[in-house]
Every structure is written in structure tokens, then in C-alpha cells.
Amino acid sequence: MAENPNSRSVITSVSSPYQEFGNSSSGTPWYEQESMLSLSEYLIFVEVILGLLVWSLIASTEHVSFSPFGWVMFVTVFYWLLTLFLLIIKLASGQIRQVPWTTVVLIFNSTAALLYMSAAITEATLVNKGVRGHHDFNCWAASTFFAFLVSLSYVGSAFFSYKSWHRGDE
């Protein structure tokens, strides 16, 4: 039988979103995996932005007259730089295969949550030493608020890192 040169065949396929996004062996629906992944990525952006606010607000004051601010500045700048570095690695998607990233990120987020919380508490005790209405007091109070928010975001990141580590994600 001769094939008509003007006729064309069309091949269609139907796929389920469960096949594309879900992992049948994990038992977790695809929408839960996607929401956890996106939330943990959003938390990194929150940590970078709020962390920048924390240390820049402190740096704009006369913080050197109170030595505990040295600890607060160290923790905030150190973890801000490391979180920024982690964000760049995530965006570049060029992870080094030999590094157990889930374990590294879990340890990083857990220590960041603990040390950031200690810095936020230290800063909260120092706010009382400022004069109300003075530039330093206002900046310290705002920085303390943002430090507690960053601490909570690191706690959330640690939680999602633990869930990922517990599942055995790579």
C-alpha cells in the first residue's frame, strides 16, 4: 500500500504528574516534596537578607564600646558569609559529588541555629544598655528583632535538613 505524502501521523502521550514529580519508592506525594524543597530554598534567601540587616544595623552603631557585640558581629557576619556561599553553590548546581551535602547542610543549619540564638539573646541583653530614642538603641532593637527571625529561619532550615537527611536524600 502506498503512503500518501500529504498525510502526517501524530503521536501523543499522556503523563501523570505523579510520574513526573513523585518518587514511588518514598511514599511521599510529589506536592509535599516540592513544597518542602521550595520552602527550604526560600529560607536560605530569608537568612541572607535578614542576616545582612542584622550585622549592618549593628555595624552602623557605636558597638565597639560594648565587647559582647564582638561575639554578635562574629556570628552574624560568619554565618551570613557561609549562607551566601551555600546559596551560590545551590544556585550554580555544581555540587561536589564527594561531599555528603545533606549531612553538611544539617550540621551547618543546626550550629547556625544554636549560635545565632545565643547571639540574639546576647544582643537582647545589650539593648537595655542603650538610651531609648537614641540611634544606637533603635538600631540594636531592630537588629535584635531580625536576629531572632534569622534564628528561627535557621531552626526551620535545620528541621528540613534533618528531614532530608533522615530520608537519605543525596
Helix, strand, coil % over all residues of the chain, rounded to 5: 70, 0, 30
Contact 55, 43 (CB under 8 A): no
Contact 122, 68 (CB under 8 A): yes
Higher pLDDT residue, 169 or 105? 105
**Cut 0.85: pTM above it:** no
Among 118, 37, 52, 56, which residue's Cα sits nearest to residue 83? Answer: 52
Distance linking the first and last C-alpha atoms of the chain: 54
Query: What pLDDT, in 10s, does the model give residues 29-55?
Result: 444 445 545 677 888 999 999 999 999
Q: In the chain, what percentage of residues exceed pLDDT 70?
A: 70
d(CA 49, CA 54): 9
What are the boundaries of each domain within the chain? 29-167
The mean per-residue pLDDT over the stretch 144-169 comes to 91
d(CA 162, CA 103): 8
